[in-house]
Structure 1
Amino acid sequence: MSVETTAKTYLNYINGEWKESASREAEASINPANKQEIVGYVQKSVREDLNQAVQAACQAQRQWRKLSAPARGEYLYRMADVLERNLSQIAETMTREMGKTLPEAKGETARGVAILRYYAGEGMRKTGDVIPSTDAEALMFTSRVPLGVVGVITPWNFPVAIPIWKIAPAIIYGNTVVFKPAQETAVTAAKIVECFAEAGLPAGVVNMVTGAGSVIGQGIVEHPDIAAITFTGSDQVGKAVGQGALARGAKYQLEMGGKNPVIVTNDADLDQAVEATISGGLRSTGQKCTATSRVIVQSGVYEAFKEKLLAKVKELQIGDGLATGTWMGPCASDKQLNTVLSYIEKGRSEGATLLYGGQRLTDGEWKNGFYVQPTIFENVSPQMTIAQEEIFGPVLALIKVETLDQALEIANDSQFGLSASIFTKNIGSMLSFIQKMDAGLVRVNAESAGVELQAPFGGMKQSSSHSREQGQAAIEFFTAIKTVFVKP
């Protein structure tokens, strides 16, 4: 069967202009629901392209930082308006490019609009404090100053929200940006940048260069004129980014993996817990860093919870994310599908009991896509691979426990500490969970995957570099404190 060859070619965006890579090479972005469809072609950039983008960002930053923060905020408001006008088109592109359902894609794009407006408002907030001096005649205060050029490296699973929650605070605080999106969702990224350009953002403030992580991502890490790097992605790559940035003294921020537990206690509302477990673990095909992966259930309700969970999961409609009624789309790529299938096989080989799913779907409407059934294992021991390593797919591991203390011990038995949730009606259990759970985001009677843009977000242990994104916490990474002492 022949593939579509009429798709548009998207260029890099450097210094306010769309430019072909110096390599003169592009690669196809494939629809994971139908591998015969090419969504678009994106540039396979080289270091020369990156150097041009960094130079443009350096030049633009000299004037951008001089602009008042409220004036920078006006640009963000306009960017939000343009993104909102193009919401449906961008959401459809996202679904075609990475597979999540259209309602989810629309919700994510709307969240991008809200993030831009939130940080536009940050331009009117205070950026320093007056501090008493021991010298009665002096004035001492702090101010926040931009870092310079920020490298933004983002993953494919949230191709609108994650770039915007990094780019928006970076530029409102006076930095300029070189943006390297995941190659798998670079068409969606280009459409976001098109909105920024349409809004009149000055040339060089945001630049986009697409290409391999080993070339452009590594180039950002090593470039002497990039003052800071904000990265979301895998644990392995994130650590390499941090090591490279540290070696040359650049500031860095890493958000990496998760192995997020939900605890279901004997007194939980089981219907609520089941709905949240399915939503938290299987929406977006489980391709979220905050997705529920381990389901730790007290023995008193284990069988009832399992029965309800299986009944609901069996009802889920799997298919093209653009189709009406689809609840779960495909894995984002052939590579990701194979990763998920390999973990399912590890679960089987290590002795876990496969309750449901576990198969690739290849018939009928699924034949050209990267589809896998939602998968549920039980009799999972805490040390099994599927209970320890991030799968990034629709796989749930059920673990039966007797007590809450045992549940918390297992929940904390992970190298990661991103998010966690508990379902209980007992306030003592709630407080114990809040106090003892080693995670950056803990939620009570709510799914593990909920993140609000106005609140700090980040993980503990190996899930992050211990910094926080979003909300007012973003100022801590994207600025430096300058202390000022004035004496007449």
Structure 2
Amino acid sequence: MQDFKMLIGGDERAAVGGEWIESVNPYTGKAWARVPRGQAEDAAAAVEAAAAALENPAWKNLTASQRGALLRKAGDLILANAERLADLEVQDNGKLKAEMLGQMRYLPEHYYYYGGLADKIEGAVIPSDKAGMFAHTVYEPLGVVVAITPWNSPLLLTTWKLAPALAAGNTVVVKPSEHASVSMVEFAKLFLEAGFPAGVVNVVTGFGAECGATLVEHPKVAKVAFTGGDGGGRAVYQAAAKNLKHVTLELGGKSPNIVCEDADIEQAVKGAVSGIFAATGQTCMAGSRLLVHEARHDEFVEALRDFVAAAKLGNPMDRETKIGPIANLSQYEKVLDYIDIAKGEGALVAYGGKAYHGAGCENGWFVEPTVLTEVSNTMRVAREEIFGPVLSVIRFKDDEEAIAIANDTPYGLAAGVWTKDLVRAFRYTKELKAGTIWVNAYRVVSYAVPFGGFKQSGIGRENGQEMIKEYLQTKSVFINLDKEVPNPFVLR
């Protein structure tokens, strides 16, 4: 059992109450580490540390170019520690080592990108319609930013917030999920090593009700950036509204992955697998609704079943493993409950459908990759986010029906389309109501391309050049060049 402490104001701390939360390895079912069970006092201390760092000349007086240099140094350190960070995440959330190591090696690119962007944030001189008046704008940091991140990809989803926030000159308090906090604590230490002043990056661990609420409601917090379920997002939005804080919400999805009549079935099967069984279905962008043209339905389901049957479930550290365990016990039980719900609604199990305890998986929280057929878009499994390896297959007869079904959801995070017809592809990208659409691909993201949702899948965007303004505020400046001030009782 290892203990990992919070990072507040550059110091490693236990919780004021002295309590701890055990992190359970989802592959072994055994606790392997502890993190502090932070309380409101701990959260408030982290915000105060971030607020103090914001005014510290060591941070406040840095030029944008100097901030960029620190970000690039942080990227170098992340790359040097990629293997260790990946191992921590695998133990914390059970995702495949192959994916986590790939993510860790890609994370530095975000810091290089925003490090380069830091000194490209330019205001403007605005031609004024007021004679003798010089007008210009500048961008300034918002202040203290709180980043609340989930357990499925803690460091990646933190980076989507942290890199642009720091590039813009803010200070940050990160509250990772209580189910996966270890990697974040170790990750934050690298920013101190890179030369960031103490208090610029802080980490508080604990439960949302006990410390997260204090972070969201604290009067010195200017912005909350949240990734998680739509229920949690609503709670954050409501709490942040009390003090009119800036908010970015990246929430859930029930994304359609559409296989048209002319699709390359072999490639589309890979796309379906990538959409729902990669990461054991524990991604907000999961293509959990597979819409298949009725003429290709049976052929596609058979090919999909054969492909999934060959995928090995097992130790996520093993490079041969394709599907790992569910990240925590409550989620494991939720996924199994939804499979039972689907059966009760009339869906048929074409593959999987139950817990898995085969060789090497006896103690972990494994669920068989599950393919459900005869699903209608009115069933709960087609409307509610499951966040697990459960795929609902829905038939459609033509493009109009596919688009209607795809858009008939309260969510709008992502969508996939599989077709050889360029005109059809453009029609779908135009008519689908989703923040990201992939054509003949699925589950592709980039630091350079904005990501976020329509409808109840969120507010705001992450990644890309423009989104750095989500962490900035605009100041307009008027300078009077005339010696005389005109009538002071009249608006100029």
Q: Same fold (TM over 0.5)?
A: yes
What per-residue deviation string (whole Å, max 9, x for no partner) do you get for residues 108-148 of structure 1? 11222111111111112133222211135433221111111
Q: What is the match of residue 128 of structure 2?
A: 133
2:473 to 458, 476, 480: 480
2:415–2:438 contact (8 Å) kept in structure 1: yes
1:10 partnered with 2:4: yes
Deviation at 1:455, TM superposition (A): 0.8
2:74 to 74, 79, 93: 79
Separation of aligned partners in 2, 1:43 and 1:326: 32
Q: What is the match of residue 163 of structure 1?
A: 158
Q: How does 1:323-472 map to 2 (within 5 A)?
A: 323-447=318-442, 449-465=443-459, 467-472=460-465
- The aligned amino acid for 2:360 is E
2:98–2:319 contact (8 Å) kept in structure 1: no
Separation of aligned partners in 1, 2:404 and 2:60: 48
1:39–1:187 contact (8 Å) kept in structure 2: no
Separation of aligned partners in 2, 1:423 and 1:297: 10
**TM-score normalised by L of structure 1:** 0.96
1:50 to 43, 56, 62: 43
Q: How does 1:164-183 map to 2 (within 5 A)?
A: 164-183=159-178
2:172–2:201 contact (8 Å) kept in structure 1: yes
1:112–1:165 contact (8 Å) kept in structure 2: no
Q: What is the match of residue 115 of structure 1?
A: 110
Q: How many residues align?
A: 479
Three-state SS of the structure 2 residue aligned to 1:332 is: coil
Deviation at 1:323, TM superposition (A): 1.5
1:266 partnered with 2:268: no
Separation of aligned partners in 2, 1:164 and 1:149: 16
1:119–1:172 contact (8 Å) kept in structure 2: yes
Deviation at 1:93, TM superposition (A): 1.1
1:105 partnered with 2:94: no
Separation of aligned partners in 1, 2:427 and 2:244: 40
1:290–1:418 contact (8 Å) kept in structure 2: yes
Deviation at 1:393, TM superposition (A): 0.4
Gaps of 5+ in 1: 1-6
What per-residue deviation string (whole Å, max 9, x for no partner) do you get for residues 172-213 of structure 1? 101101110111111111121121122121001011110111
- The aligned amino acid for 1:57 is A
2:44–2:215 contact (8 Å) kept in structure 1: no
Gaps of 5+ in 2: 482-492
Q: What is the match of residue 278 of structure 1?
A: 273
- The aligned amino acid for 2:175 is K
Three-state SS of the structure 2 residue aligned to 1:248 is: coil
1:149 partnered with 2:127: no
- The aligned amino acid for 2:472 is T
What per-residue deviation string (whole Å, max 9, x for no partner) do you get for residues 445-470 of structure 1? 111x22211111100000002x1111
Q: What is the match of residue 4 of structure 1?
A: none
Separation of aligned partners in 1, 2:364 and 2:193: 34
**TM-score normalised by L of structure 2:** 0.96
Separation of aligned partners in 1, 2:136 and 2:34: 51
Q: What is the match of residue 39 of structure 1?
A: 32
Separation of aligned partners in 2, 1:39 and 1:136: 70
Where in structure 1 do 4 or more consecutive aligned residues deviate above 3 Å? 135-138
- The aligned amino acid for 2:444 is G
Three-state SS of the structure 1 residue aligned to 2:288 is: strand
Three-state SS of the structure 2 residue aligned to 1:300 is: coil
Deviation at 1:367, TM superposition (A): 1.4
Query: Which deviates more, 133-142 or 26-35?
Result: 133-142
Three-state SS of the structure 1 residue aligned to 2:7 is: strand
Q: What is the match of residue 195 of structure 1?
A: 190
What is the CA RMSD across the aligned residues, in angstroms? 1.1
Separation of aligned partners in 2, 1:171 and 1:126: 13
Separation of aligned partners in 2, 1:312 and 1:483: 58
2:69–2:115 contact (8 Å) kept in structure 1: yes
